[in-house]
Amino acid sequence: MITLSSGHLLEVNHLTKTFTVGGLFRKRGLIAVDDVSFRISTERPVIFTLAGESGSGKTTTARLILGFLEPTSGEIMYRGKNIWAMSKEEFKSYRKEVQAIFQDPYGVFNPLLKVDGVLKTPIKKFKVANPGKEANDLISQSLEVVGLKPEEVLGKYPHQLSGGERQRIMVARAFLLRPKIIIADEPVSMLDASLRAGVLKLMLSLKENLGISFIYITHDLSTAHYISDKIIIMYLGSIVEMGSADRIVKEPLHPYVQLLTGSIPIPDPKYRWKERLELPKTELSTQLKSESCKFYDRCPERMDKCIKERPRLVDVGGDYWVACHLHR
């Protein structure tokens, strides 16, 4: 078992999460994450994007990886060990090595805690440095890594900082613990464009210079393409396409991914959309047959086969994966 997984830092195997929704009488299962598998190798650091529209299951996947939710089935293996079979000590070290930053740099801060406190808490919890000079040095060093001047931010309250600075502090907080992976859930979507660039470049530099891998969760394929090595596109809980960031954006195979990438606005009036996109005239039925392709209702290239058999994710060559009957 351990030898099999030795090349993988993180392995997500057939991960599935079902929530029960509805009231007393109309209870039904909602499959938020549906048989999702992917791997992050130990060879070299990568930025891996999980992208999709709202309801695609990308955030639930992130919460499962962080151990906030227990999977309905499937497993998350870290260094060859299932995180739900770890001892308390092992899980603590997992939570140290796999850190998270979130969308809202305004909401995650305790407004009464100064920046110093925000950074000292994880040091105490994980005992990564002795209190006093050692802890202070570590804090200063982490702040410098994320491009902040310690003397300018220490002693301040969160409301005295900008959104970009707050997000950098969250990265510094994660970095204190020397993580192997940082899970970043929409870390820049609430920031203005001019500040966004700085946070994205910081992620790139942590990967390249300090060997930290990222799982970047986003709906924004432009920023995903800019920073990622690999992109996974999710649709209604399933992976529909997975592979190199460049290829997925430039030559997507799945009709859904083609629709998605064709709708990304380009910040240059030379490349405007040419054809007119027709939006659905009414709500699509949510009654999905469990054996059909999930994209059947919206697919311009649907075939009989697609209603009878749900396509599996297959490698079409070059570690590039698609779940569509058009590509086998």
Partner 1 sequence: MASSNYLLKVEGLKAFYRAGSSRVKAVDDVSIAVKKSEILGIAGESGCGKSTFALAVLRLLKPPGYIEDGEILLNGVDILKLSDKELKKVRWSRMSYIPQSSMNALNPVMRTEEQINDAILTHGRKMPKAELRKRVGELLANVGLAPEVARMYPHELSGGMRQRVIIAMAIALNPELVVADEPTTALDVVVQRGILQMLSEIRWKFGSSIVVITHDMAAQAEIVDRLAIMYAGKIVEAGGVKEVFDEPLHPYTHALISSVPSIKVKKELLGLSGLPPDLRNPPSGCYFHPRCSKSIRNRCEIEEPEFVEIEKDRFVACHLCG
β-strand partners of 243: 231
CA distance linking residue 22 with residue 29, whole number of Å: 9
Q: CA dist 314 to 13, 171, 325, Å?
A: 15, 35, 10
Kindly write out the interface string for residues 247-266 of this chain, putting x where it contacts partner 1 by CB under 8 A and - elsewhere. --xx--------xxx-xxxx
Q: Which stretch binds partner 1 (CB under 8 A): 11-19, 269-277, 304-312, 318-326?
A: 269-277
Q: Does 282 bind partner 1 (CB under 8 A)?
A: yes
Complex with partner 1: residue 156 or 219, whichever CB lies closer: 219
Residue 61 exposed, middle or buried by CB count within 10 Å (0-12, 13-18, 19+) = buried
CA distance linking residue 225 with residue 235, whole number of Å: 18
Q: Does 222 bind partner 1 (CB under 8 A)?
A: yes
235 token code pair? 């649709």
Q: Which of 217, 242, 219 is nearest to 231 (CA)?
A: 242
CA distance linking residue 19 with residue 27, whole number of Å: 10
121 token code pair? 């808490």
Minimal distance, residue 122 CB to partner 1, in Å: 27
Minimal distance, residue 317 CB to partner 1, in Å: 23
Q: Does 277 bind partner 1 (CB under 8 A)?
A: yes
CA distance linking residue 119 with residue 10, whole number of Å: 26
Angle at 186 between CA 181 and CA 191, to 5 degrees: 120
Q: Does 205 bind partner 1 (CB under 8 A)?
A: no
Q: Does 87 bind partner 1 (CB under 8 A)?
A: no
Q: Does 290 bind partner 1 (CB under 8 A)?
A: no
Q: Does 193 bind partner 1 (CB under 8 A)?
A: yes
Interface residue with partner 1 among 108, 195, 299, 316 (CB under 8 A) is: 195
Minimal distance, residue 188 CB to partner 1, in Å: 11
Site for partner 1 in 45-64 (CB under 8 A): 53-54
By CB under 8 A, name the binding residues for partner 1: 53-54, 162, 192-198, 200-201, 219-223, 225-226, 249-250, 259-261, 263-273, 276-279, 281-283
